Chain A
Amino acid sequence: MTRKKPVTAILFFVLPFGLLFIAFYLAPIGYAIKQSLYKVTRTGTFGPAHEVFGGFEQYQRVFQNGPFWESIGRVLLFGVVQVPVMLGLALLLALLLDSGLVKGRAFFRLAFFVPYAVPGVVAAIMWGFLYSPNLSPFTAVTKTWDLLSADLVLWAMANVVTWVYVGYNMLIIYSALLAIPQEVYEAARLDGAGPVRTAWSIKIPLVMPAIVLTTVFSIIGTLQLLAEPQVFRTFSSAVSSTYTPNLTVYSTSSIPNFNLAAAFSVVLALATCLLSFAFLKVTQRGDDK
């Protein structure tokens, strides 16, 4: 196009979002980094506190903070188990919905999706009751295994997250399946491929982008676990104030030690970005082959 660029229109479109993005995304990131480089000192024990530049002192504390790294390990373990289970189930249900073997598709689609309408906090409260030995409708289970004990509470939370998000992930994968043109299946049918074979070698590769997308969001979500453990603290003493990285950030900032909390935030955000970016890179390399 050789015509003059509509500068005012472009500014009109981009600026409102751009300014808010700068104010409420970039500025906080910058501010967190700045805060993480400061420390509070006092003159004498009870003297007035003032902030001075501390270099990487807070980061040194972050790296020496055992509970924080334990909590990172905990959510990684959580993610390694929960994300594949959740997405595997979502994929299976999407494939079944798409296979023509199932009657009443509209009903199932909606039934599986309803939990997504339940906010994380509310879902955690509900399941907290369902797990409690006295009130649960599944007393046969909750009397044998204490789902709120230190050993099992992590997996009890994994179940809450799975329950909320399977339907949502299923819907994303299912929509991708619906978008596959019918002609693609013709060849498979001529070759005499059955439904399992078709699913495995045609459908799954074609919906890979959707699976990658849902995986990245799940990784981000896992590292950010907050609402579920925060709620479970009222049901189970096994959930400490540093149970997940975000709980550590929250409890450090309510001490208050904002500088250290900011350093935790920065490290956590970086770890999240790196992990999701690495996952994207690995899967993209697979595509190039």
Chain B
Amino acid sequence: MKSKSAAMAIMGICTFYFLVPIWWLFVGASKSRSDFSNTAPLWFAHFNLGQNLSELFHYRDGVFLRWMLNSILYTGGAALIGTLLAAMCGYALAKYRFPGRETIFNIVLGGVLVPATALALPLFLIFSQLNATNTFWSVFLPSLVNPFGVYLARIYATASVPDELLEAARLDGSGEVRTFFTVSSKLMFPALVTIFLFHFVAVWNNFLLPLIMLGNERLFPVTLGLYSWNTQVNQLPELRMLVLTGALVSIVPLVVAFLFLQRFWRSGLGSGAVK
């Protein structure tokens, strides 16, 4: 059928567009420096990926591994704790009536519209008053706050945790906090995965805050580290292959996380976006 082949053609062209740069990165990272500039960019020459990786991981006392570890700590830690806090707050806003509830919700919602980058500079000024810039915490603590997560958690809690169930739990003598952790959080689980992934990606991508906050190379997340190498490529050409190989390594954790959490994520996204 004509419309079928037209549809498949569009999908094919788009697949090409989205995947060729990643293919190029993989092929490029597998080449030696001279092969990289002298052989066809989209096909393998002598397979040198192992050598490149070993150089990457040993360059300057393995600073790259340190960056990866930092990124995982900043991102995984902040997303995990941040999701829990956002879920608790959103849940309370959905399930309890108390004075100031709507005000709190509206202020938090306003927070969604305030771009995170607008906060980076004042955060730096505040942390420097406390002599706390250039520390792990100066990047980690601000990354915990996720107003959009509260908004999503409220929607999901309203949709997926029935009041009758909470009443039943109360009659059974279960405390409110215990009910949240044993019953409600399980019902909200697909939503929590969604919030976690959104938060994870946001922190993983955050660039301005570490750029402004950190001077010590050993505290850098991998994005800032690769950026700093890339700015030196013109003076130190040997860094180019390290930047490419590092870029390839840096996208692996997120791709793995996506593959693992895909199932939850799709179901969660669906319920969030229609409301």
Contact = CB atoms under 8 A, between A and B. Distances in A.
Nearest to A259: B125
Contacts of A89: 14
A161 to B, nearest CB: 12
B62 interface: no
B237 interface: no
Contacts of B273: 172-173, 175-176, 179, 207, 209-210, 213
Contacts of A262: 121-122, 125
A246 B145 contact: no
The interface size bin for chain A is 35 or more
Contacts of A20: 85, 141, 144-145
Interface stretch (A39-47, A56-64, A270-278): A270-278
A273 B115 CA distance: 8
Interface stretch (A2-10, A66-74, A78-86): A2-10
B104 A18 contact: yes
A171 B197 CA distance: 13
Contacts of B117: 224, 226, 246, 249
Interface in B76-125: 85-86, 88-89, 91-93, 96-98, 104, 107-108, 110-111, 113-119, 121-125
B176 A6 contact: yes
A14 B89 contact: yes
Interface in A95-121: 96, 99, 101-103, 108, 110-121
A231 to B, nearest CB: 6
A117 B88 contact: no
A234 B107 CA distance: 39
Contact of A130 (B18, B21, B97): B21
Interface string A4-31: 0111011011101110110111111101
B123 A24 contact: yes
Contact of A175 (B234, B247, B270): B270
Interface in B1-49: 3-4, 7-8, 10-11, 14-15, 17-22, 24-25, 28, 36-37, 40-42
Give the dominant DSSP class at A's interface.
helix
Contact of A163 (B17, B89, B122, B234): B17
Contacts of A220: 113, 115
A220 B113 CA distance: 7
B200 to A, nearest CB: 10
Contacts of B147: 21, 25
B145 A121 contact: no
Given A35-B125, A234-B231, A121 B18 contact: no
A108 B19 CA distance: 11
B274 A125 contact: no
Nearest to B100: A14
A7 B233 CA distance: 58
**Interface magnitude class on chain B:** 35 or more
Contact of A265 (B17, B121, B176, B255): B121
Given A6-B176, A13-B92, A179-B274, A258 B144 contact: no
Contacts of B227: 121, 125, 227, 230-231
Nearest to B88: A13
A17 B86 CA distance: 6
A231 B111 CA distance: 28
B208 A250 contact: yes
B204 interface: yes
B64 interface: no
A125 B258 CA distance: 22
A164 B37 CA distance: 26
A147 interface: no
Contacts of A119: 204-205, 207, 223, 250-251, 254
B203 to A, nearest CB: 10
Contacts of A12: 88, 177
A120 B11 contact: no
B243 interface: yes
Contacts of B60: none
A269 interface: yes
A224 B177 contact: no
Contacts of A31: 122, 125-126
Given A24-B145, A127-B21, A135-B37, A29 B114 contact: yes
A27 B126 contact: yes
A14 B150 CA distance: 10
In the A-B complex, the 5 residue pairs with the smallest Cβ-Cβ separation, listed nearest first, are: A9-B176, A13-B92, A137-B41, A28-B122, A269-B118
23 contacts: A6-B176, A13-B91, A17-B89, A17-B145, A18-B104, A21-B145, A24-B142, A25-B119, A96-B7, A102-B7, A114-B18, A115-B22, A117-B255, A119-B223, A121-B205, A121-B224, A125-B247, A126-B247, A137-B24, A137-B40, A227-B207, A253-B212, A272-B113
Given A5-B97, A112-B15, A216-B113, 5 more contacts: A5-B96, A114-B18, A121-B227, A171-B269, A249-B121
